[in-house]
Amino acid sequence: MGEMSEQIRRPTTVEELAAELAAGAAAGQAMEIGGAFTKRRLGGSATAAARTISTSALDQTLAYEPADLTISVGAGMPWASLTQLLADNGQILPLDPPFPGATVGGVLAADLSGPRRRRYGTARDVVIGMRFAAVDGKVVESGGMVVKNVTGLDMGKLMIGSMGTLGAIATANFKVSPRPETSGTCAFLSDSTDKLAKLRGRMLQGVAQPTALDLLNAACGRGLEIDFGADFVLLAEATGSEAVVKRSRATFETLARETGVEFLALEETAAQRLWRAIRDFHPASLEAHPKGLLLRISTTATQLGEALALLAGLAPDAWVLSRAANTVIWCSLDSWESGARTLERLRKAGHKTLVESAPPEASLERWVAGGPALEAMRRLKAELDPQGLLNRGRLWGKI
């Protein structure tokens, strides 16, 4: 991890932000752009930069008309403040990103989301407009404040997940959702990943769909202090009216019985605590495993059970969390050296595996990338940041 430069610059207007970038570019300075800098160990660690720019002072609500279900805020607004403001109006923006203290801009740049993704999608599904500052000092706008809009290129998509390598997100517009009337969480316990994978499949084939569906192993449960005493637990949240939640729970219970896994209906406060703990899997596992490896496995439904079984065999003590409906698995191992073997086996078995975090000294292929799509990404980077000044080292230094 690079050292932070002494003084963090905190522009207070979008124009000042753009001017900061332009000044850095004119001086040929490497620049680190961030919000609250909570994710310096994630997504390819940032390297030392001559100029550090934070968007944290761009923290205003720019427009909010609850009746339109849209909101526009500065990128520096803490995510928690944004969701609180919405909650006060009975609305939600359910990305549930990890890292308390994260800002809106950081959440979008790192493309973080959480358990309710099955129902509400990720950042790309809720952002309807964006302004960003380019390295040449220009302020660029994309989209707008309406929920449906194809006026011009959707440049916001490009910024989401770009880890600040293309420019600095200055403001973001979202479509928000009404808060569901109620919710209910069920847990399914089993020692067999196979059975849980089967249950997952049957739940998703049903008409009563879960809003969130996560799977974790015992080590992860212990680490997050939500231990269920089983090797694996699948957690499902249903949301909607009382009747809908009741029906969903009954459906899930029947499926659990048919699949031969233990079923538990959780009480609401316990459920809330549980989802909060899961949401912060990333910071918790990074803290627990300071010299460890954090892997992200993008797999398919067909291979999910196999990937989980592989992990159970190779690294029983690793923390494993899967966003089961989306078939993404995170695996946090306590030592990068011993974890390297797990990484190799996963890749050999055909699971697309990314090193989300590893100590700088770890000699590992963090992202196996290549081909014409990567070339196209490099050309985009070269166009937007020709000197390669922005967030060097991010995106694993590949782009």
Partner 1 sequence: MRAIVGPKAVLDAPQDLLLYEYDGSIEKGRPEVVAFPRSTEQVVELVKLAARARIPLVGRGAGTGLSGGVIPTEGGLMIGFARMNRILEIDYDNECAVVEPGVVNLDITLAVQGAGYYYAPDPSSQKACTIGGNVAENAGGPHTLAYGVTTNHVLGVEAVLPDGTVIEVGGKESDLPGYDLRGLLTGSEGTMALITKVIVRLMKAPEQIETLLAIYDEPAHAADTVAGLTARAIIPAAVEMLDGVMLRMVEEATHAGYPMDAGAVLLIELEGLSEAVVEQLEQVRGVCLENHAREVRVAKSAEERALLWKGRKNAFGAVGRISPTYYVQDGVVPRTRIADTLKHIYHVAEKYNLIISNIFHAGDGNMHPIILFNPRKPEELERTKQAGAEILTYCIQAGGSITGEHGVGMEKNDLMPLVFQPDSLKMMERLITVFNPDRRLNPGKLLPTGKGCLEIRPMTESQKATTW
Residue 230 beta carbon to partner 1: minimum distance, rounded to whole angstroms? 25
Closest distance of CB 186 from partner 1, Å = 16
Nearer to partner 1, 334 or 385 (CB): 385
Q: Considering beta carbons, is residue 192 or 327 the nearer one to partner 1? A: 327
Separation CA 307–CA 344 (nearest Å): 13
Closest C-alpha to 41, from 385, 383, 362, 371: 362
Closer CB to partner 1, 119 or 334, in the complex: 119
At its nearest, how many Å lie between partner 1 and the CB of residue 381?
A: 8
The neighbouring-strand residues paired with 32 are 52
Nearer to partner 1, 52 or 113 (CB): 113
Burial of 8: CB neighbours in 10 Å, binned 0-12, 13-18, 19+: middle
The residue (of 113 and 190) whose beta carbon lies closer to partner 1 is: 113
The residue among 291 and 398 lying less far from partner 1, judged by its C-beta, is 398
| Shortest Cβ 80–partner 1 spacing (Å) | 22
Q: What is the 3-state secondary structure (H, E, C) of 39-86?
A: CCCCCCCCCCCCEEEECCCCCCEEEEEHHHCEEEEECCCEHHHHHHHH
CB-based contact 107:120 (threshold 8 Å): no
State the amino acid at position 345 in one-letter form: R
Min dist CB 251 to partner 1, Å, is 9
Q: How far is CA 235 from each of CA 175, 224, 299, 304, 345, rounded to the nearest angstrom?
A: 27, 14, 19, 16, 27
CB 35 within 8 Å of CB 76: yes
Smallest separation, CB 227 to partner 1 (Å): 27
**Number of residues that this document lists for the chain:** 399
